[in-house]
Structure 1
Amino acid sequence: MHKKISLKIGIVMDPILSINIKKDSSFAILLEAQNRGHIIYYMELNDLYLNNGKSYAIMRLIKIKKNKNKWFEFINEQDIPLNTLDAILMRKDPPFNTEFIYSTYILENAEKNGVLVLNKPQSLRNYNEKIFISDFPRFTPDTLVTRNIIKIKNFWKKHRDIILKPLHSMGGNNIFRITENDTNFSVIAENMTHCEKKFCMVQKYLKDIKYGDKRILIVNGNPIPWCLNRIPKSGETRANLAVGGIPKIQKLNETDFKIANFLSPILKKNGLIFVGLDIIGSKLTEINITSPTGICEIESEQNISITGMLIDYIEKNLRKKYYDSIRI
């Protein structure tokens, strides 16, 4: 039997004061780690810095508990080199902007100095959550990425019903549907491209959205057999829970598994250990790698520990590193 090791696990996330612990995946992961005796260090993006080629952060030792009135307590605050941690969870929500990219360079510095960083900083930079699907056209709806309004117009004329969305956002923010005779085409296209100064994604509208937008979670190359299906409320194009989508837990179907099993080894190879696929009908629409959600909803209805699988991966990875080091 392996000796139990208490790990130092850091997390970079949005302000913990603003989360809803009932459905926040980051909180669920931290609770599992704490319940196993690991020490948790909390950071926000503003806390990260490089000094003379070495990565640091202003860290708070944090204790959490499942209490909706007071769910966390900071024990102390200090500047600590990132390489004193065993693992860091990068769970900062989009926008995916230059500040996010800069933070991945700092985390990559820590990774080069022996820290396990999830997901891999280089891959967070390389694989935009929207554009990443273009690597798998066999599974996706007709998709265009451009800032050219004429290209968007031609795509609209071809499909007659389209979706426009920004490349850097989340939660259904700034997603527009343009139907066949929509008189608002020009103003929407101008707004989404900032008058042809910013790229956006254009996709053929999928009528299957009425049956939901499935969030399929993958941990270390293993698809979770249950997904969070988000059903749009009446009169709404978007299914995101943040804009009123109705959650429903359901089993993955044959097509879901086909897509998930095809992508899983590619994701794992690139250090994308915790990923959320978005599938509408039989079409892959996004690959969420920055801060996938859906853990709490699935775990609350099914006898499965997604957080346990993730912490198992971290423990196994670092246990191997620990025993390899003492054999040298």
Structure 2
Amino acid sequence: MRFAFLADPLDHFKTYKDTTYAMMVEAAARGHELFAFQQKDMAFRDGKVTADIQRITLTGDKDDWYRAEPPLESALDAFDAIVVRKDPPFNMEYVYLTYLLEVAEKQGARVFNRPEAIRSHNEKLAIAQFPQFTAPTLVTSDAARIRAFHKEHRDIILKPLDGMGGTGIFRVREDGMNLGSIIETLTANGAHTIMVQRYIPEIVNGDKRVLLIGGQVVPYCLARIPQGGEVRGNLAAGGLGVAQPVSARDREIGEALAPVLLKRGLLLVGLDVIGDCLTEINVTSPTCFQEIKQQTGFDVAGMFIDALETQCT
């Protein structure tokens, strides 16, 4: 099969941990052809969505890891699958990308995750569809509501709806220190909507990334444990990643959401779970494949390519 990866620049990959790289290695090992392109390579003209796409081959070297042929303009429906692996931020450029990919789908392209589903599932707000699994949560731009929520729960987390990697996350304890300033900063004095959640003490044991692939729960998760007094467990914020079997509660949440999200066109999903609570649903470019494989031996990339092959046959 011919798999085209819509990703950020290949030269920026950190191959020792990059999930897209792990996908490519597994696909190449099975004899599939690999291609790559970026959002900037795409265009719509004369009724067709095309892109300047490079065929790539893997060298097996961790640093100088690929060879790329000169790009050729190709219709996206010329491939068995378009695998969307563009990192956030999920800004208007990303939204425009989903619009173009949606047109390509109508022309016969197979896109994973589906662009409409990516666009419809804000990675913070999507948990509102599954309140039975969440901690007390408030979404608002109103300072009075945020203050009332803090008064009720005493220890809270505030975060922007468009952040990634733990950026812009604040904890305010019972004393309310700097609450007003944080509200002003995150909401831009009431102009921006944010999310506020009751603080979950189990964060000290890790913010768990539970992966769903093809409607199934990956049996191991990666607990990202805050370090050095941080409240954030994100690997990008210095968290320590520890792979472990999914708990009974992790599996309960995963098995409830997996078939629903797969039906919506989300082949790969990364749930964030703290303690017993669902905190985010990641759909743009979920990661942690390599960390889980390195620590447990479970072949997450193999499970993903199995699911991708099934979808393409």
Q: 2:184, 2:13 → 1: CA distance?
A: 34
Q: Does 1:153 align with 2:144?
A: no
**Matched residue, 2:118:** 124
- 5 Å-filtered alignment, 1:81-230, equals 81-230=75-224
Contact 1:161/1:178, CA 8 A, preserved across alignment:
yes
Question: What's the CA shift for 1:138?
Answer: 0.9
Question: What's the CA shift for 1:234?
Answer: 2.9
Q: Does 1:14 align with 2:8?
A: yes
Relative to structure 1, the CA distance from residue 65 to residue 200 in structure 2 (aligned partners, 3 Å threshold; closer, same or farther) is farther
Question: What's the CA shift for 1:303?
Answer: 3.2
**Secondary structure in 2 aligned to 1:154?**
helix
Question: What's the CA shift for 1:314?
Answer: 2.2
**Secondary structure in 2 aligned to 1:76?**
coil
Question: What's the TM-score, normalizing by structure 2?
Answer: 0.97
Q: 1:186, 1:317 → 2: CA distance?
A: 49
Q: 1:82, 1:152 → 2: CA distance?
A: 45
User: Which residue, 240, 246, 262 being the options, matches 2:234?
Assistant: 240
Contact 2:138/2:195, CA 8 A, preserved across alignment:
yes
Question: What's the CA shift for 1:43?
Answer: 1.2
User: Which residue, 23, 36, 39 being the options, matches 2:30?
Assistant: 36
**Secondary structure in 2 aligned to 1:258?**
helix
**Matched residue, 2:284:** 290
Q: 2:108, 2:169 → 1: CA distance?
A: 40
User: How much is the aligned-residue C-alpha RMSD, in angstroms?
Assistant: 1.3
Contact 1:139/1:259, CA 8 A, preserved across alignment:
yes
Question: What's the CA shift for 1:146?
Answer: 1.1
Q: 2:245, 2:60 → 1: CA distance?
A: 28
Q: 2:303, 2:109 → 1: CA distance?
A: 19
Give the stretch that moved more between structures: 191-200 or 286-295.
Answer: 191-200
**Secondary structure in 2 aligned to 1:287?**
strand
Unaligned runs of 5+ in 2: none
Question: What's the TM-score, normalizing by structure 1?
Answer: 0.92
Unaligned runs of 5+ in 1: 1-6, 320-328
Instruction: Give the percent of matched residue pairs that are identical in Structure 1 and Structure 2.
Output: 42
Question: What's the CA shift for 1:124?
Answer: 0.5
**Secondary structure in 2 aligned to 1:80?**
strand
**Secondary structure in 2 aligned to 1:95?**
coil
Question: What's the CA shift for 1:113?
Answer: 2.0
Post-superposition Cα deviations, 1:2-50, rounded to whole Å, max 9, x if no partner, equal: xxxxx11111112221121111101100111112121111111211221
- 5 Å-filtered alignment, 1:258-269, equals 258-269=252-263
Give the stretch that moved more between structures: 57-66 or 96-105.
Answer: 57-66
Q: 1:51, 1:240 → 2: CA distance?
A: 40
Contact 2:161/2:193, CA 8 A, preserved across alignment:
yes
Question: What's the CA shift for 1:131?
Answer: 0.5
Count the aligned residue pairs.
Answer: 313
Contact 1:58/1:80, CA 8 A, preserved across alignment:
yes
Aligned AA (1:215):
R
Contact 1:21/1:66, CA 8 A, preserved across alignment:
no
**Secondary structure in 1 aligned to 2:70?**
strand
Contact 2:15/2:63, CA 8 A, preserved across alignment:
no
